Amino acid sequence: MQYLTSLNTIFSAQAATGTGTIINVEDWEKILVEIATASSANLTVKLQGSLSDARPDFSVAQTAANMWDYLSFEDSDEVTSNAPTVTAGSTGFAVAGTDAFKNMVVKTSGLKWLCATVTARAAGSVNVKARGVKSIN
């Protein structure tokens, strides 16, 4: 049996580069993330995470005092297969002039903070939402 959190909005119609809302994920084993682009989007979304007790500033560079990194994720359409497609965190989810909707799975056991950032945006907008998942007995 699994327990789900409510859906958390990280971005809502984000039409510029930048960092979204930071959510606390320390109680969850994995996070389900949905990304939806609109208006012939041409952009990249990267997921970010941190183990730090103090919330980092995901909008500035990683340092010894501001520890975070990009997170890889699995395409939820393929998670049940023997070898799901894993996208490197530094690559992110990219679209180039076409709109897309994608559900992804991020393994977050041990992470405390999750965020997303939009990079390389030339057109369009994006919505990013996340829901925590935890197995219970």
For 53-98, how does the pLDDT look when each residue is reduced to its tens digit (9 = 90+)?
999 999 999 999 999 999 999 887 755 556 678 889 999 999 999 8
Top-level class of domain 2-135: mainly beta
pLDDT reported for residue 80 = 55
pLDDT reported for residue 84 = 74
Which tokens in the block code for residue 43?
């952009």
**Most confident stretch, 26-40, 80-94, 97-111:** 26-40
Whether the Cβ atoms of residue 105 and residue 32 lie closer than 8 Å to each other: yes
pLDDT reported for residue 109 = 75
Share of the chain above pLDDT 70, in %: 92
Q: Which helix or strand (DSSP H or E) is residue 104 part of?
A: strand 101-107
pLDDT reported for residue 91 = 94
pLDDT reported for residue 2 = 67
Residue found under tokens 């109680």: 27
- Residue type at position 125: S
Mean pLDDT, the chain, integer: 90
Share of the chain above pLDDT 90, in %: 74
Dist CA 10 CA 22 (whole Å): 7
pLDDT reported for residue 75 = 84
pLDDT reported for residue 133 = 87
User: Residue 32: left if φ>0, alpha if ψ -120 to 50, beta else—which one?
Assistant: beta
